[in-house]
Amino acid sequence: MAGNRSPGASRETAGGSVRAGSVAPEDEVLLLLAVRGPMPAGEIASALGIADRTARAAVEDRLRRGLVEEDASGRARLGAAGVAAAAEILAREQRALGPATAGLAERFDDLNRRMKAAITDWQVVRIGSAVVPNDHTDARRDAAVIDRLAQAASSAALLLRPLSRARRRIEVLLARLDAALARVVSGGGEWVCGLGVDSLHSVWWNLHAELLALLGRERGEAEA
């Protein structure tokens, strides 16, 4: 996928012209911390698809300006001034990416419901009136659930293609989603929603958070 263009550039998409001028790494850091909360610099680099040194320099710039703070564990987090600055950056992003997000909410909400239902069916099984943990002994049922997960993830990638072309951070999220799905399909069931891995569920959560921010919606309006 193509990277960002110079400021003022636009991209033609099925939804119209997207004003997709690039966002400075320093601003991307503030936006990322506003959407996802405190993160270590290394994680920031991978989330934005930039070099570790670029992420570190961006964080240090915002630290010097008093927009970002570091907690006891070394994670970067927004300071009070950073919260206000991030809100301004988000408003600019909402304006720039408006054509690519028009009509997105309802369609993604449907995909979100489908993904949530499939993940739940991976975790539990209904036997009569009881809901019990899925012991994964029914290979046919698990295969059907994986197919549903794949369909939702593939539909999301198609739906968000204009955004991924405009913003590297969206492209990175979709690549992570695809990587997690590939591991699931290859037999790694823990990659559906397991802890300690970049699971399908955790990536979907991050993707949903990004979209909610761009759409100006709260998590409670359509929880992942």
Q: How many CA atoms lie within 13 A of 22 on its CB side?
A: 10
pLDDT at 162 over 70: yes
Sorted by sequence, the CB contacts under 8 Å of residue 92 that are 6+ apart come out as none
Report the pLDDT value the prediction gives residue 152, as an integer from 0 to 100. Answer: 98
Report the pLDDT value the prediction gives residue 101, as an integer from 0 to 100. Answer: 93
pLDDT digits (tens, 9 = 90+) for 79-131: 999 999 999 999 999 999 998 898 899 999 999 999 999 999 999 999 999 99
pLDDT digits (tens, 9 = 90+) for 191-222: 999 999 999 999 999 999 999 999 999 866 55
Sorted by sequence, the CB contacts under 8 Å of residue 182 that are 6+ apart come out as none
Alpha-carbon gap, residue 180 to 222, rounded angstroms: 23
pLDDT digits (tens, 9 = 90+) for 163-184: 999 999 999 999 999 999 999 9
Alpha-carbon gap, residue 75 to 39, rounded angstroms: 5
Contact of 51 with 221, CB cutoff 8 Å: no
pLDDT at 224 over 60: no
DSSP helix/strand/coil, 213: helix
Report the pLDDT value the prediction gives residue 12, as an integer from 0 to 100. Answer: 37
Task: Summarize the confidence of residues 129-157 as an average pLDDT.
Answer: 97
| Residue that is written with structure tokens 């997690």 in the block | 180
Sorted by sequence, the CB contacts under 8 Å of residue 40 that are 6+ apart come out as 73, 74, 75, 76
Report the pLDDT value the prediction gives residue 220, as an integer from 0 to 100. Answer: 63
Amino acid at 41: A
Closest CA to 85 of 97, 73, 95, 93: 93
DSSP helix/strand/coil, 16: strand
Q: Identify the architecture of domain 10-98 in CATH.
A: Orthogonal Bundle (1.10)
Based on its alpha-carbon atoms, the radius of gyration of the chain, rounded to whole angstroms, reads 19
Distances in whole angstroms, Cα of residue 71 to Cα of each of 39, 75, 130, 223: 10, 6, 44, 28
Alpha-carbon gap, residue 159 to 161, rounded angstroms: 6
Chain centroid offset of residue 17 CA:
23
Any idea of the CA torsion for 148, 154, 156, 158, to the nearest 10 degrees? -150
Alpha-carbon gap, residue 104 to 109, rounded angstroms: 8
Report the pLDDT value the prediction gives residue 41, as an integer from 0 to 100. Answer: 84
Closest CA to 169 of 39, 62, 8, 80: 39
Report the pLDDT value the prediction gives residue 222, as an integer from 0 to 100. Answer: 52
pLDDT digits (tens, 9 = 90+) for 8-63: 333 333 333 444 567 899 999 999 999 999 998 889 999 999 999 999 999 999 99
